[in-house]
Chains A and B, each alone.
Chain A
Amino acid sequence: MMIEILIAVALVGALVTFVAPNRIAGKLAFAISLVPTALSLWLFAAFDGSGNALLDGELAFESQAAWLEIGGYSISWFVGLDGISLPLVVLTAILCTLAIVSSWTPIDERESQFYGLILFIEAMLIGVFSALDFFLWFVFWEAVLIPMYLLIGIWGGPRRKYAAIKFFVYTNVASLVMFGSFVSLVFGLGDSVTSFGLPEIASAMLAGGPEGFFGLSGTTLASLAFIGMFLGFAVKVPVVPFHTWLPDAHVEAPTPASILLAGVLLKMGTYALLRFNFTMFPDQVEAYAVPIAAIAVISVIYGAMLALAQTDLKRIVAYSSVSSMGYVILGLVAYTQFGVGGATFQMVSHGLISGLMFMSVGVIYNATHTRMVTDMSGMADRMPIAVGVLIAGAFGYMGLPLMSGFAAEYFIFFGSFGSELLAYSAAFTSLAMFGIVIVAGYLLFALQRTVFGPYNLETDYEVGRAPVHDVASMIVLLGLIITLGVAPDLIFTMITDAIDPIIQGGGL
């Protein structure tokens, strides 16, 4: 019941906020969003699951209710959490609350609609991470698009219309490709599945895979479905060459939407890859490991090089997300405990760090009305605390020890270097490690020009300190980043517990 309450609070809260007057909408949405945050932390404390949700694990907070049966397949409301999904649910709840706080300053029109959409997106995101029935999961997965489209389209920057429709079309077409592949796969499994429940489909896949469909052999169908779904999720992640929607969406989106986009929406793609491709198709993972690893490394390097070439702070952070998501893919394809576990850890860690980075850029933009590196210098002089947190976040990005980024990247490299499944794993890992050098390069270069040196910004108004609520939410995020960096076992234990059944205890 707890997951239902979590989703229902956010949904009802969205409706209430939508009809509330603009004046109080921000504070009201914040108050409402504290409930899911508190509940998700309670779920975290009371978590009693073990194993993987799809592979006969003990689910926590499971609940299932029949919904519909048609043509021999049943569809049900089926939710539950395991060690992979729980950290992401907590991340979603916390980031949504902080995104609401960070909207107080920049959002000054149609507030009730804005905060209503944020709460709606929160409900749908929690649904994505907890749903265990394909149909239900797909409903949540697609329902995230509409509020994000409107958030970018209504409150975005000058090119918001183009960015919003590009985001919608890219991700929607990708979803349809993935959807078609998965439905064909389910029909190909024949009588061995009688529902769209993901655990049932996963065990049928591992017990022998599809029998074939439309004259395709079972193996061909499985490979085609694997490729189709990989492409579908790859757009969401995004990996090179499907990344072009991301910088547009990020740059035009209002800061709070960017926080959610980088912090949680990108994780939907990697989460789905882990849940579907890397859990249900071990044979295909082995067969396609090298091309996937190549895509991952290209994303790491190319994303970082693109970031190096930008002069807009927000674009820099946006492209660096492409690079960070490349690490996640590399960890997944390594198929070792540390590789896949580290990838999952990186999802949480990158959610926190990129959230912090977008928040800092937003705070600077609110005060200066520019994001161009070339326009400003010496910001540390005017907003010392905010800039301090920004620098700390940047070091987190670069993988400074005792911050979560270090733990995540260390796990991934450790896991992928010795991977037995991935050929040339040492070469791929070494290449990907080079990405860190570029990350350090562009972040330090950008910081050096913007925050250090003599204060110089031509404005006809006084640039003051950052508002207390913004600084407070940045400090909360920084605290979480350091906590996870110092004690990764807080979540890494439950992650590996859920990962082990996938890789059957192999690897390092």
Chain B
Amino acid sequence: MTTVDRVTNASFEAWKAAYDRARQRDVPFETVSSAPVLPLTTPADLSGTDADAEIGLPGQFPYTRGPYASMYRTRLWTMRQFAGFGTSIDTNKRYHYLLDHGQTGLSVAFDLPTLMGYDSDHPRSEGEVGKCGVAIASLADMETLFDGIPLSDVTTSMTINSPAAIIWAMYLVTAQKQGTKLDQLGGTTQNDILKEYTAQKEFIFPPAPSMRLVIDTMEFATKHTPRWHPVSVSGYHIREAGSTAAQELAFTLADGFAYVVAAIERGLDVDSFAPRLSFFFNSHVDFFEEIAKFRAARRVYAKRMRDKYGAKNERSLMLRFHTQTAGCSLTAQQPLNNIVRTTWEALAGVLGGTQSLHTNSMDETLALPTEHAAKVALRTQQLIAYESGVANTIDPLAGSYFIEDLTNKMEASANEIFDQIDEHGGVVPAIEKGWFQREIAAAAYHYQRELDAGQQIIVGVNKFVEQGDDTKLDTLFIGPEAEREQLERLAKVRRERSQGAVDGALERIRTDAASSVNMMPAFMQASEAYCTLGEMIDVLRDEFGTYTEAPAF
């Protein structure tokens, strides 16, 4: 603390006196994470910071100012809008539409049955097929999804976790059938199982076998798909589940380090896989807090990777991340306001140095985005990129007393939280004790109570409420016909494939699951034989068991 400096600084004292005399608005002056905010930061707040060592330059350790030397002056961030709904035919059409409008990467949203490893015709899938994303039950659906889209030319991000290894195998086989070599493929599988236990709760197996599958994909990628990011360590869902910004940062990095440790234990050299690890953060409404979070993430990661995990390759130290604006910040009331919120959330991502970005559509609290709403969201990014001028210079907020102080505070909070996780024995034991889940639930409840008490404001919800607000947006309605069509598609696959090949491939999955070999070749063989996702997952459920969460409040 720098009280001494301040006392000796007469002008500061004069300001302080004037400030204290002034009437202050009766609001808590805190971030959306309930962190207090100073009225003013001055050089005194940074007097303990070695600017060269902590802030440095872009492309140089500890990468606070960005992973690359030239950042957006070489290449803008990838505009990657997450999309998927209905059958693979429906989603394939949307991908062609987005690519035609200037989108530069694809991002697949899967439906809940796929995310949970159930085939579209499983009884538990009823009513959920194609609702929140696209239904992928076998290689046939994957082939249709990318029909007419050369996988050698686009990069694809796939939001899939528990069944990620299998879905990725289907993607690899689809690419091979298009004539693309595996080493040409670029993209990302989310494949971050740890945050499923803490936040998103779409888990199937217990942590140990789940971790094994993640490390199998990392190992396979290291050997065969050098341009693929096998894991995107995700804070997005932790934040959406209600965590604070500091918790999002620390929990996510801790998950990332847990994969690093597990891969090292597998016998992989840290510098062989770390350059392909990527991250995924939320960009919430508190503009400066978010920018500080992104900048701190790079610094904390670089230091730990070098000092604790022995990484030497520069690319192992640079944290690269995707950003999505905060779905939980959007409102059903006065939905056009969502465009504005999304704009500054996206801007925070860009000023924080993101490598790719998804901007939410204004209608997401009502339904899946319509084509029109998705286009406005994409245009929002294009406006920032081409009109606002912010992409012309690198890390323009560096050196701001406020931003640098906030970045330091984020780093300190993250380190404190790492210590707490260590006290619980590490990430997996803390999950099993429900610690993360309790921390997140408590933060979510705290925020909701502040909101109810008017200490946090959401325009249109608890301030400037319009009675009889009649803004009507068109919404995308996924009717029952998508489910019907998907069931027909799946029945056809089951009819036309060779049962012998299916049985053999599933038997291999069983054998491999019981041993410790890398399972990717078995998943690729089964995909080629048109085994369904559900059939493969069922074998694994048998071998690995399933996970039930003990509720934590």
Physical interaction between A and B: no
